[in-house]
Structure 1
Amino acid sequence: MNTKRYIRQTILKSFGAEAQQKLKTAKVLVVGAGGLGVPVLQYLNAMGVGVLGIVENDTIDLSNLQRQVLYSEAEVGLPKLEVARQKLVAQNSETVLHTYATFLTPGNALEIIEKYDLVVDATDNFPTRYLINDACVMLQKPFVYGALHEFEGQVSVFNYKGGPTYRCLFPTMPGKGEMPDCNENGVLGVIPGIIGNLQALEAVKVLTGIGKPLAGTLLIFDGLSQQYQKINFEAVKENLKRTALETSYETISCDTDFSISADVFSSLLQQKNIQIIDVRTPLEFSDFHFEEAKNIPLQELTTRISEIDSSQPVYLVCQSGVRSTKAYHQLKDTINTTFYELEGGINNYLKYAVSH
């Protein structure tokens, strides 16, 4: 280890060479290399964490650049995982990097997570958070949580030394229509940087034993007022006894008959005059859309119902399937026609199209 490299840390009396050595021998898994994952990876890498694992299976989109500052315009369309790996190596060649070009699933979560001392949740969806939580409980690994919403963010540390888990704070997963959607609600670009850095700090505290980690405490940051609020919560003993993962962590909708798969939708596109209502924003629509699609953003849906032809079926699409589900529930009792939504949204369709 290059002692000069970390001198600004090791001269700290409450940190020193001992804590630096703990970082060097630490193994941290970061799930997600997006808005939260980028600052987490950059700072843990710079500070001398010995082994970093990265789980990521997405590509760089132009809309990512507003907050995912590791990436550049020239890299749009490239795999985040490969670009992040190259830049992290250039930043600190001493770090051992393990990359996983996959999504975390019940089939691979235990195998991947068991190799690490700590997991940083840098995802943007509830199913993966519950999966990370359950795997960490089973493997007795702490994990650092972060979440974003518009101008706010949350940070906490779960499963630390027998402390509360994610399920102790959020016992059940919200329904599909109840989930916040960053594509619809947005997030101010600097907020992920703030929350991601707080996550990196919590990871360092857990790994080195300095300070007091946010175990049993949810930190809420309000960027507009620059205020922090702390909410304490207790462990629920039953949540510490998990012995198996769920078969699936996908949300279950009571309305399963209105979703159509990417392959069925692909066949429908061969027909003429199919009525597709795209409920994304105009900016997303201009970036990519189906030829037959009409753009009616979700926020404008109730005031533009007259633009929908009730004499033929309506196929609702959005980026990931969240907004199209909301649109379905808004419209199903308003217009006397048949509604369908593209399962997994345009993201899922494009993956299907590439593989076929």
Structure 2
Amino acid sequence: MGSNLAQPSRYSRHEVLPEIGSAGQNKLRNARVLCIGAGGLGSPVISYLAAAGIGTLGIVDYDRVDRSNLQRQIIHSESTLGELKTDSAFQYISRLNPDVKINLYSVRLSEYNAIDISKDYDLIIDGSDNFSTRYLVSDVGNILDIPVIWGSVFKFYGQVSIFHPKIGPCYRCVFPQPPAPGSVPNCSTVGVMGAVCGTIGSIMATEAIKVIVGMPNTLISTILIYSAEDSNFERIKISKNVKCYSCSKPLEARTLLPSYQDFCGEVIGITVHDFETKRSINPNLVILDVRRPEEYESGNIPGSINIPSDDFLNQLLILDLDRDVELVIYCHSGARSRKCIREIEQLGLANVSILDGGILAWNSIVGV
């Protein structure tokens, strides 16, 4: 990397701000920020932090760029379809500000790697889209004593907060237990306005810069809620939970859970790329399409078996599968697959995953 991060011509609009100045810009240059996710929220976060001159930017994402991402994930493009999002992000940042050091982690963040990945960073930004990762990131921040900036989006709405172990509450203080599995639909099912991701992600990046340079009036102990439908912002004060599983304990007593997906009742999802890899190495892989018969007939993944979700358990019993068989379930976009997982658990089948994005994702990348 070059040594031009301190060039006044690039950062002069920061340096003339009394609240930032050259001292604040130096803090940004020396900062190490880890971004969880390079998707709808991660895209504006990565873009603005790289432009701001963050010295080191780590990016965690195991997914690949899909055409359906491009409506809101602005750092990716048609030219990077099918590539790892981390690689696509690297290309974007290198064009925008080649002096930023970029660390890529093309893996699923888990209880096995989260501490090692996060331990050398000053700040974590959580742009994940699932509850297990949110609880994991919150606990990692508490264990390492690192502040976490959290954001989420849903349809026309978004939320942002800062969870700072030294000062305010953590994610667990506000949400001690995850919602029931399947009770909260994801964006692939209900949709999200792309520009809302930009709004929330930009606020997350703004709060990151404020924390790094030491500005007051951040969103610590506050959740900022945005509604694009009525262009309204609302602030809700939050406080520490003295009985919190994580942050109420002494620093040395804080630990990770054995499994965050078990805690949240979530099912392991696999990308289209990983699914195709499974198909190539496991000739006995069983692929179940849980859509309606007419949907199946209109187009399906070759070799899949159609078992509609409304009679899933009965039809699955007829198949009489071995308990050690490896299963992949898919539907239109993922919602029905997740519901069927709970029925599979009754049969003691453990080696089961769902295809993230369903047939929509597979068609956009592989097709027939």
Does the pair score TM above 0.5?
A: yes
Counterpart for residue 106 of structure 1: 111
Once the two structures are superposed, what CA deviation does each residue of 1:181-207 show, in whole Å capped at 9, x if it has no partner? 221111111111111101001111111
**Equivalence map 1:205-220=2 (5 Å):** 205-220=210-225
Secondary structure of 1:237's aligned partner: coil
Show structure 2 runs of 5+ residues with no match: 1-5, 268-274, 321-326
Select the residue among 218, 229, 233 that pairs with 2:238: 233
Give the aligned partner of residue 147 of structure 2: 142
Cα distance 1:295–1:21, how it changes in 2: closer, same or farther (>3 A)? Answer: farther
Contact kept in structure 2, 1:320 and 1:344, CA below 8 Å: no
Report the Cα distance in structure 2 between the residues aligned to 1:295 and 1:74, rounded to whole angstroms.
36
What's the offset of the Cα at 1:222?
A: 0.5
Partners of 1:153 and 1:226 lie apart in 2 by 11
Asked if structure 1 preserves the Cα contact closer than 8 Å seen for 2:150 and 2:162, the reply is: yes
In structure 1, the partner of 2:355 is 346
1:247 aligns with 2:258: yes
SS across alignment from 2:134: helix
Q: Report the equivalent of 2:136.
A: 131
CA-atom RMSD in angstroms:
3.7
Distance 1:73 1:341, change over 3 A: farther
Runs of at least 4 residues of structure 1 off by over 4 A?
252-256, 290-296, 308-316, 319-322, 348-351
1:306-345 → structure 2 map (5 Å cutoff) = 317-318=330-331, 322-326=335-339, 343-345=352-354
**In structure 2, distance between residues paired with 1:100 and 1:56:** 6
Q: Does 1:267 align with 2:284?
A: yes
Q: Supply the distance in 2 between the matched residues of 1:113 and 1:343 (Cα, whole angstroms).
A: 29
Aligned with 2:174 (options 169, 185, 199): 169
Q: Within 2, Cα distance between the matches of 1:6 and 1:243?
A: 39
**Residue of structure 1 aligned with 2:291, choices 263, 278, 283:** 278
Inter-partner Cα distance in structure 1 for 2:351 and 2:154: 25
Aligned to 1:335: none
Unaligned runs of 5+ in 1: 333-337
Report percent identity of matched pairs: 34
Tell whether the 8 Å contact from 1:133 to 1:143 is kept in structure 2 after alignment.
yes
1:276 to partner: Cα distance: 3.5
Q: 1:219-259 deviations in whole A, cap 9, x for unaligned?
A: 11111111011111111134312511101100358899xxx
Say how many residue pairs are matched: 326
What do residues 263-317 of structure 1 show as CA deviations (whole Å, max 9, x unaligned)? 8x96365xxxx973237xx7xx86x635556697xxxx77xx8xx9899569963
User: Pick from 82, 87, 93: which aligns with 1:88?
Assistant: 93
- Once the two structures are TM-superposed, the CA of residue 318 in structure 1 deviates from its matched residue by 3.1
Which residue of the partner structure matches residue 118 of structure 1? 123
Letter in 2 for 1:267: N
Q: Is the 8 A contact 1:275 1:292 kept in 2?
A: yes
Q: Tell me what 2:39 maps to.
A: 34
- Distance in 2, Cα, partners of 1:227 & 1:147: 16
